[in-house]
Amino acid sequence: MISCAPTNYVYTKKVNSASHEIKHVLIMVEYLDAKDDTQGFWNFDEISNLTNQDFLYEMASQMLMSKGYDISDKSLKTSGLIIARDFYMDHYVEKQLQEDVISPPYIIRSVNLDDEVIQGLEILLAELNRPMSKVMSDYRGFVKNNYREQTANIDLPNESAILIIQSYKPRVSMLKNLNLGYSVSSAYSDGQIALGMRKQNYTSHAYMIHNGTGDLLWSNKTRLITESNQEKFFRELPLK
């Protein structure tokens, strides 16, 4: 993760009211690095994705603790959690092509979470990625800043928050565009969510959501979260 670009601040809201008591923060990382292959399927490097999931988790943990938050003993690290289930990729491990292609989600690593909570987080992530018009997308934090409908189905304490880090790094060859279909795999899906990603359009988004109220407390986006811009990216994350 070596690219760097200015942070584009999106939305923040004070969290020091009783209704936003936060005892622990659960960190969820959705990271996907994939490379287009003109000969067939896209390429998915397992080690690269695992390494960058861990990098983003550790970064988020350090930033949260520096703001006074306690980190939950529960966590979720995924790659391709809301990608359409028929988007197959060639699977590489240590640069070696594996025998079978893989379908989303390509990686799910959870700690102290059952399947129902993981599914609830999947639905919340899908809602955060729901298509909007350009104007609506630019002002998402002001247009829709409550996700109680989704957090009500996530069995976590009300006095907790969820920090979601979502970072995608599609590497597209021959200047062509890619449309990935985003969908939740459960019966709760409204259908696929399309997201166009152009050549080298790396994007990182972060959302901090209070589980009890569903309020969006803070969000930010940048081209890519890196060691060099992490302080700036998390600067407006409210103190506990």
Which pLDDT value is given to residue 14? 61
Which pLDDT value is given to residue 201? 55
User: Can you tell me the distance from the alpha carbon of 29 to that of 52, in angstroms, rounded to the nearest whole number?
Assistant: 9
Q: What is the pTM of this model?
A: 0.84
Q: Which helix (H) or strand (E) holds 58?
A: helix 46-66
Q: Is 117 helix (H, G, I), strand (E, B) or coil?
A: helix
Which residue's entry shows tokens 């972060």?
Answer: 206
User: Can you tell me the distance from the alpha carbon of 205 to that of 35, in angstroms, rounded to the nearest whole number?
Assistant: 20
Which pLDDT value is given to residue 40? 80
The pair of structure tokens assigned to 111 is: 């700690």
Which pLDDT value is given to residue 172? 72
Chain centroid, CA 34 distance in Å: 15
User: One digit per residue, pLDDT tens: the chain, 240 residues?
Assistant: 333 344 455 566 666 656 789 999 999 999 999 988 777 889 999 999 999 999 999 999 999 999 999 999 999 999 999 998 989 999 999 999 999 999 999 999 999 999 999 999 999 999 988 876 666 655 554 446 889 999 999 999 999 999 999 999 887 754 344 445 555 544 333 333 334 333 345 689 999 999 999 999 999 988 888 889 999 999 999 988
What Cα–Cα distance (Å) separates residue 26 from each residue in 189, 196, 203?
24, 29, 22
Which pLDDT value is given to residue 132? 65
User: Can you tell me the distance from the alpha carbon of 17 to that of 106, in angstroms, rounded to the nearest whole number?
Assistant: 39
Chain centroid, CA 114 distance in Å: 19
CB 106 within 8 A of CB 89: yes
CB 167 within 8 A of CB 52: yes
Which pLDDT value is given to residue 203? 84
Which pLDDT value is given to residue 144? 61
Which pLDDT value is given to residue 92? 97
